[in-house]
Amino acid sequence: MHRLRPAHYLMIAPAQLMLAAVIVLPAISLLWLSLERYTYGRAPEFVGLANYLFILGDRAFWRASFNTFVVVNIVVYGELLLGLGLALLVAGWVPFRRLVVSALLAPYAITEVSAVVMWRYMLEPDIGMINYALMAIGLDQIDYGGDPVTALGVAAAMAIWMHTPFTFLILYAALLTVPVELVEAAKVDGAGAWQVFRHVKFRLIVPAILIALLFRYITAMRLFAEIWLLTEGGPARMTEVLAVYLYRQAFKYHEFGVAAATGFAMLVLSLAIAMPYLVQMYRRMVRDAV
Amino acid sequence: MTDIAPTRRQMVAGALGVLGATTARAPAIAQARATKLTIMSHAVHKAVATGAKGGDSTAAWRQRTGLDAEWITFSVEGVHERVYREASLADGNVDIAFLLERYGGPHIAALFEDLGEWQKRDPIEHFDEIGEGMKAAHTYRGRMIAIPYRHATHGFFFNRTFFGERGVSAAPRSLEEIAELAERLTYARSDGSRVNGYALSMDDPSAMVDLVRGFGGEFITPDYRVVCNEPGAVKAVALVRDWYRKGVLARNVMSFKTEEVITAMQQGRAAMTNQPFGRFVNYNDPKQSKFPGAIEVVTVPMAAAAGGAVGRPAPAKTSVWAMAIPRNARNKEQSWALIKELSSRESTIRAAVNGNGPVRPSAYDNPDVRQLAPWSDFEKAVLPSARLVLPGFENAAKAMDIYMEEVQRAMLGQTEPQQAMDAAKARIDPLLPKA
Shortest distance, CA A53 to any CA of chain B (angstroms):
17
Contact B288, B268 (CB under 8 A): no
Q: Rounded to the nearest 10 degrees, what angle do helices B231-246 and B417-428 cross at?
A: 130
Shortest distance, CA A91 to any CA of chain B (angstroms):
41
What CATH number is given to the structural domain containing A144? 1.10.3720.10
Rounded CA gap, A4 and A11, in Å?
11
Note whether residue A23 is domain-resident. no
Shortest distance, CA A126 to any CA of chain B (angstroms):
7
Note whether residue A119 is domain-resident. yes
Nearest CA in chain A to B255: A231
Beta strands B68-74 and B36-42, pairing class: parallel
Backbone dihedral region for residue B278 (phi beyond 0: left; psi -120 to 50: alpha; all else: beta) = alpha
> Would the CB atoms of B412 and A143 count as touching at under 8 Å?
no
Of B87, B109, B409, the CB nearest to A236: B409
Write down the ipTM of this complex: 0.85
Any chain A CB within 8 A of the CB of B324? no
The pLDDT of A86-105, averaged and rounded, is 90
Nearest CA in chain A to B407: A236
Please, which residues 197-236 of chain B have a Cβ atom closer than 8 Å to chain A? Answer: 202-203
Q: Which domain holds residue A208?
A: 29-289
Shortest distance, CA B107 to any CA of chain A (angstroms):
6
Of A40, A127, A236, the CB nearest to B108: A40
Any chain A CB within 8 A of the CB of B400? no
Mean pLDDT of chain A: 91
Residues of A in contact with B250 (CB under 8 A): 125, 145
**pLDDT tier, A40 (very low <50, low <70, confident <90, very high otherwise):** confident
How many domains, chain A? Answer: 1
Give me the residues paired with residue B40 across strands.
B72, B97
How confident is the model at residue A2, as a pLDDT? Answer: 63
* pLDDT > 50? residue A123: yes
User: Which burial class, exposed, middle or buried, applies to B344 when counting CB atoms under 10 A from its CB (0-12, 13-18, 19+)?
Assistant: middle
Rounded CA gap, A200 and A211, in Å?
19
Shortest distance, CA B28 to any CA of chain A (angstroms):
31
**pLDDT tier, A288 (very low <50, low <70, confident <90, very high otherwise):** low
Note whether residue A16 is domain-resident. no
Any chain A CB within 8 A of the CB of B21? no
List CB contacts of B49: < 8 A, sequence separation 6 or more.
B56, B57, B58, B342, B347, B351, B354, B356
Contact B157, B279 (CB under 8 A): yes
Contact B95, B34 (CB under 8 A): no
The helix or strand, by DSSP H or E, that contains position A196, with its residue range, turns out to be: helix A193-196
Note whether residue A3 is domain-resident. no
Any chain A CB within 8 A of the CB of B398? yes
Shortest distance, CA A218 to any CA of chain B (angstroms):
28
Contact A47, A37 (CB under 8 A): yes
Nearest CA in chain A to B395: A253
> Would the CB atoms of B255 and A232 count as touching at under 8 Å?
yes
Tens-level pLDDT at each residue, chain B (435 residues): 344 444 444 544 444 444 444 444 444 444 444 689 999 999 999 999 998 888 999 999 999 999 999 999 998 888 999 999 999 998 889 999 999 998 888 889 999 999 999 999 999 999 999 988 899 999 988 899 999 999 999 999 999 999 999 999 999 999 999 999 999 999 999 998 999 999 999 999 999 999 999 999 999 998 899 999 999 999 999 999 999 999 999 999 999 998 899 999 999 999 999 999 989 988 999 999 999 999 999 999 999 988 766 778 999 999 999 999 999 999 999 999 999 999 999 999 999 988 899 999 899 999 988 888 889 889 988 988 899 999 888 899 999 999 999 999 999 999 999 999 999 999 999 999 876
Residues of B in contact with A141 (CB under 8 A): 251
3-state secondary structure of B144: strand
Of B397, B412, B414, the CB nearest to A253: B397
3-state secondary structure of B276: strand
Note whether residue A280 is domain-resident. yes
Rounded CA gap, B295 and B280, in Å?
7
Of A40, A124, A234, the CB nearest to B88: A40
* pLDDT > 90? residue A284: no
Contact B84, B111 (CB under 8 A): yes
How confident is the model at residue B11, as a pLDDT? Answer: 45
How confident is the model at residue B21, as a pLDDT? Answer: 45
The pLDDT of A211-234, averaged and rounded, is 92
Note whether residue A264 is domain-resident. yes
Report residue B404: phi and psi, to 5°. Answer: -65, -35
Catalogue the E-assigned strands of B213-260. none
For B284-322, give the DSSP string.
T-TTT-SSTTTEEEEPPBPPGGG-S-TTPBP--BEEEEE
The helix or strand, by DSSP H or E, that contains position B107, with its residue range, turns out to be: helix B106-109
Please, which residues 97-116 of chain B have a Cβ atom closer than 8 Å to chain A? Answer: 107-111
> Would the CB atoms of A248 and B401 count as touching at under 8 Å?
yes
> Would the CB atoms of A253 and B107 count as touching at under 8 Å?
no
> Would the CB atoms of A41 and B110 count as touching at under 8 Å?
yes
Which of B249, B255, B406 is most worth mutating to test chain A (most A CB atoms within 10 A of its CB)?
A: B255
The pLDDT of A37-58, averaged and rounded, is 93
Note whether residue A42 is domain-resident. yes
Rounded CA gap, A260 and A266, in Å?
10
Helices (H) and strands (E) in chain A, counts: 14, 2
Domains, chain B, ordered by start: 35-152+318-382 (3.40.190.10), 154-315+390-431 (3.40.190.10)
Any chain A CB within 8 A of the CB of B145? no
Shortest distance, CA A127 to any CA of chain B (angstroms):
9
Rounded CA gap, A160 and B292, in Å?
42
Sign of the dihedral through C-alpha A259, A261, A263, A269: negative
> Would the CB atoms of A145 and B251 count as touching at under 8 Å?
yes
Give me the residues paired with residue B100 across strands.
B321
Nearest CA in chain B to A144: B252
How confident is the model at residue B23, as a pLDDT? Answer: 43
Note whether residue A18 is domain-resident. no
Rounded CA gap, B98 and B79, in Å?
8
Residues of B in contact with A248 (CB under 8 A): 401
Shortest distance, CA B116 to any CA of chain A (angstroms):
20
Residues of A in contact with B408 (CB under 8 A): 234-236
Of A127, A145, A237, the CB nearest to B253: A145
> Would the CB atoms of A234 and B408 count as touching at under 8 Å?
yes
For A119-137, give the DSSP string.
HHHHT-TTTSHHHHHHHHT
Nearest CA in chain B to A141: B251
Any chain A CB within 8 A of the CB of B408? yes
Nearest to B207 by CA among B130, B264, B140: B264
Residue type, B326: P
Shortest distance, CA B288 to any CA of chain A (angstroms):
18
Q: What is the pTM of this model?
A: 0.86
How confident is the model at residue A278, as a pLDDT? Answer: 79
Residues of A in contact with B261 (CB under 8 A): none
Residues of A in contact with B81 (CB under 8 A): 251, 254
Rounded CA gap, B16 and B419, in Å?
68
